[in-house]
Amino acid sequence: MKHEIIHLKDKYPFLGENGCDPTVEMYLPYNMTEMHRQDKKRPCMIVCPGGGYGMCSQRESEPIALHFLPQGFNVFVITYSVAPHRFPTQLREVAALIELIYENADNWNCNTEKLAIIGFSAGGHLAAHYTTAYNCKEVRQVFPESKPVSASLLCYPVITADPAYSHKGSFVNLSGREEPTPEDINYFSCDRLVSEGTPPAFLWHTAEDNCVPVMNSILYASALGRYKIPFELHIYPYGWHGLSTADYLTNNGTNEKTDHAAAWLTAAEKWLRLMDFKAEI
């Protein structure tokens, strides 16, 4: 395995303004000569850990990368800027990572037509927000040819800024305002940004999540349904917020109820294959 940490500001200096230092942890499969895969292209997975836009969770970073790496993915974990750094900083950092992937596609054996993004909690918001607004004016100001992703995987995601179902802390950190304005609700609610060009999505949540209400996933799935965009939604009955892989590796304790939610990983693998995210062989 090739493992490297990249500071995005080294490539795009403007990203280092105001003290930001977004990094990318890159995981690439080792090209074993006996497998004859030296020139084979692989799909890519961008991982956006959660943390309420106040931190980036370690539990939703490397464990996710190490799961998808042996599935044939090149994996890129982004440690994006958090509060006090506000929107659109995070969207621009994801756009920068995608530019970097495109620029190095040949060296890293990346299939840029199969670029997925996975996000957890507030990282799920970042993933969904980029998916639905990659070409917004705030991103296009710095990346005039910003690139879309091909699929999103949203894990107990923050989706809506509507106070009825929102995770307030995430939007306070993202906007710097204690209460969302009507413009914030429209601009940061990813379900309202879905369009006919939005790519397919895989979503999962737990019904008893008391931090980010399950309605967040339902709202996004419903928006996709209105546009007849393929999606898969799993709602598990039990489990606290932030389960990550829902196993011993990422939780201080598990039980038969939370173990049930760990099925999301296998379901996601099958869904990705259904969406034709396969490495060349």
Q: What does the block give as tokens for 75?
A: 């994996």
Q: What's the DSSP call for residue 270?
A: H
Query: Band of the pLDDT at 36, cuts 50, 70, 90?
Result: low
Q: Is 106 exposed, middle or buried (0-12, 13-18, 19+ CB in 10 A)?
A: exposed
Please report the domains of the chain, with CATH numbers, ordered by start residue: 2-274 (3.40.50.1820)
131-147 pLDDT tens trace:
999 999 999 999 999 99
> Lowest-confidence range among 27-41, 47-61, 81-95?
27-41
Predicted local distance difference test score (pLDDT) of residue 252: 83
Q: Which residue has the tokens 């464990």?
A: 63
What residues form DSSP beta bridges with 48?
Answer: 119
Mean pLDDT, the chain, rounded, equals 96
CB–CB of 156/212 below 8 Å?
A: yes
Predicted local distance difference test score (pLDDT) of residue 253: 75
In the predicted model, is pLDDT for residue 34 greater than 80? no
CA dihedral 123, 221, 190, 14 (to 10 degrees): 40
Q: At what angle do helices 168-175 and 122-133 cross, to 10 degrees?
A: 60
Give mean pLDDT, residues 38-61: 96
For the chain, give percent helix, strand, coil, nearest 5: 40, 20, 40
How would you label 246-274 residue by residue, b for 16+ Cβ within 10 Å and e otherwise? beeebbeebeeebeebbebbeebeebbee
212-233 pLDDT tens trace:
999 999 999 999 999 999 999 9
Predicted local distance difference test score (pLDDT) of residue 258: 83
In the predicted model, is pLDDT for residue 235 greater than 80? yes
Predicted local distance difference test score (pLDDT) of residue 13: 98
Q: What does the block give as tokens for 168?
A: 């307030």
CA dihedral 233, 238, 239, 243 (to 10 degrees): -30
Cis peptide before 88 (omega within 30 of 0): yes
Starting at the earlier edge strand, list the strands of the sheet with 110-120. 2-7, 23-28, 74-79, 42-48, 110-120, 151-155, 201-206, 231-236
Tell me how far apart the alpha carbons of residues 267 and 13 are, in angstroms, rounded to a whole number: 39
In the predicted model, is pLDDT for residue 35 greater than 70? no
Q: What is the pTM of this model?
A: 0.97
